Structure 1
Amino acid sequence: MNQFQYVRPTKAQAAIEAVAKDPNARFIAGGTNLVDLMKRGITAPQKLVDINRLPLKQIEHQGSSLRLGALALNSVVANDTQVRERHPLLALALNAGASPQLRNMATVGGNMLQRTRCTYFYDLSMPCNKRQPGTGCGALEGINRMHAIFGHSEQCIAVHPSDMSVALVALDATVQVSGPRGSRSIPFADLHRLPGTTPERDTNLEPGELITAVDVPDSPFTKHVHYQKVRERASYAFALVSAAVALDIENGIIKAARLALGGVAHKPWRLTAAEQVLVGQPATEETFRRVAAVAMQGAKAFKHNEYKLRLAPNALIQALKTAAAA
């Protein structure tokens, strides 16, 4: 690991300025992803700006939203009474992620900004446009069983690894950021990017911008929810496919729905067309199978991940059945 400068500002503006003025500086909070990347030589920041002294750990209801501070720990958020009562889908997704030890260190802001776990990204001997633009994508012709079936490009077929983010995109969350040009709000669906021709850019954050909070709006999705995660082992494994489902059901008819998939794209994959099909329909397996077919429109697999074309709709159907029965 290379030598680096380490600073611990107590004010957000000082942290923002420290990173904005130095292109080789990075924010660090729990460090559950960044430290791994530094140890492996994938990134080598010359300055780490520790933001743990900033007052960004709140979990509080404001107006018509629940605000989660960027430094709130995943374990704290998952077990918070307000989160469990107002947004149980988020609690389920958080508890499906990583391991208890990591959830006790990982933060809300860091979780959504974690980088892909593509093996070609982590292997310095292999080409990777995300790690080193212009070198190629080793996964295209390699072992690509963990990779994307939606939104990929010839430059990159990696997937976003966060479970929490799949729930947040389904729940129409909004990300609050502060930067050199002031503060702004970003709809969660617009935070992460598809690879296109610039796979090295994971998000639409500008240089020096710091995530300060996430706002999750109040909704009727407090009962019929489920997070279905399919993985190769029960703990500390990233999703092959995951499905976040939230339904508002009255007298057996679906009044509103929110759906998203994880493990299938470079960003959490919202299923807006499938949501629209659900509205006004009975909460039956026949309906769910029809919706799953809509959800898979446009999917394209590679040599080793064709199984996801079957696994993804089946995971969605199971999540819908479980949520409807809640």
Structure 2
Amino acid sequence: MKQFQYVKPATQQAVLDAVSKPGTKIIAGGTNLVDLMKRGVTAPDKLVDINLLPLKNIGITKNGLRIGALALNSVVSEHSFVTQNQPLLAMALKAGASPQLRNMATVGGNMMQRTRCGYFYDTTMPCNKRVPGTGCGAMEGVNRMHAIFGASSQCIAVHPSDMCVALAALDATVIIAGKKGERHIPFTAFHRLPGEHPELDNTLAKDELILGVEIPDNNFAKNSYYLKIRDRQSYAFALVSVAAALEIDNGLIKDARLAMGGVAHKPWRLFDAEKSLVGKPATEESFAQAAQLAMQGAKGYGNNSFKLKLAPATITEALKHAAGLV
């Protein structure tokens, strides 16, 4: 690891001034960034520690539930506002990482974490995300964990977060600060697909800072479920995960939200499948039909082709749990 400068500004403006300089990275919990630095995947000249900023808040606003960027994953997952009003988010957070990591990881850091693709982490291998133009080792290599949706010829890596899958399903909004003021963007628009620029994970500018997220009020608390399929019971990234939320009235689905993890470069929202469920009875047959619709455009790359069967089965099972059929 190369030598770097470390600063800990006390104000938001000082942070924004610092991060606008080239070679600068923000650090909060450091659960991903420090690993990347140790492995030589990234080598910032300066780290800007933002832990002095007042961004740990979790509260109800006129727009819904607001969670600060520095709120710890462990705290958010146990907070009464979250468990009572947005239990899908609590389930997803508890499915992620280990208790020790959740005690350090922040909401903003979770959003900014980078892929766990082995070719990205191995600096001896080609990776367009790490070094643009060098190729994608996973395309013809070991790609069991990789994308079946939204990939490009440049990259088939997946986003590793569980929390972000739930936030995408819940129509969250990201609150961002920059020198021109605040901007709010839909969570589904925050992360990017690889396209021709897989080195860009999201739409955050280099001189901007995540302040937090807001989740609008909804009627999904009674019928939500997060299902994560992985190689071992804990501390493993998703092969496939599904965030499912339903509003059910007299056995009929009034509204639905679905998003997947472990299948794309960003949390993968299943808009068409959601629409297909509205007005249908909350039955396994309806769920299986929606799951098949969700698979339109899916493509395997060899080692990961099993996901083409695992994904729809996981969607169906998650919806069954959300509806109380299991």
TM-score, scaled to structure 1: 0.99
Match of 2:96 in 1: 97
SS in 2 for 1:258: strand
Within 5 Å, give how 1:1-326 maps onto structure 2: 1-20=1-20, 22-325=21-324
- Counterpart CA distance in 2 for 1:232 and 1:10 is 42
Q: Aligned partners of 1:7 and 1:318: how far apart in 2? A: 47
What SS does the aligned partner of 1:152 have? coil
Secondary structure of 1:315's counterpart equals helix
Using the alignment, how far apart are the partners of 1:304 and 1:46 within structure 2? 38
Post-superposition CA distance 1:227-277 (Å, at most 9, x none): 000000111100000000000001110000000000000000000000000
Output the amino acid matched with 1:19.
Answer: V
Q: For structure 2, which runs of at least 5 residues remain unmatched after alignment? A: none
CA apart distance, 1:183: 1.2
Q: Which residue type is aligned with residue 225 of structure 1?
A: S
What is the deviation of 1:208? 1.2
Unaligned runs of at least 5 residues, structure 1: none
| Sequence identity (%) | 66
Aligned-partner Cα distance in 1 for 2:321–2:296:
23
Give the Cα–Cα distance (whole angstroms) in 1 for the partners of residues 67 and 86 of structure 2: 12
Cα deviation 1:264-322 (Å, max 9, x = unaligned)? 00000000000000000001111111000000011011111110000000011000000
Matched AA of 2:5: Q
- Number of aligned residue pairs: give it: 325
Residue type at the aligned position of 2:249: E
1:12-45 CA distances to partner (integer Å, 9 max, x unpaired)?
Answer: 110011011x110010000000000000000000
Counterparts of 2:28 and 2:147 in 1: how far apart (Å)? 28
TM-score, normalisation: structure 2: 0.99
> RMSD over aligned Cα, in angstroms?
0.6
Superposed displacement of residue 170, structure 1: 0.3
Moved over 2 A (4+): none
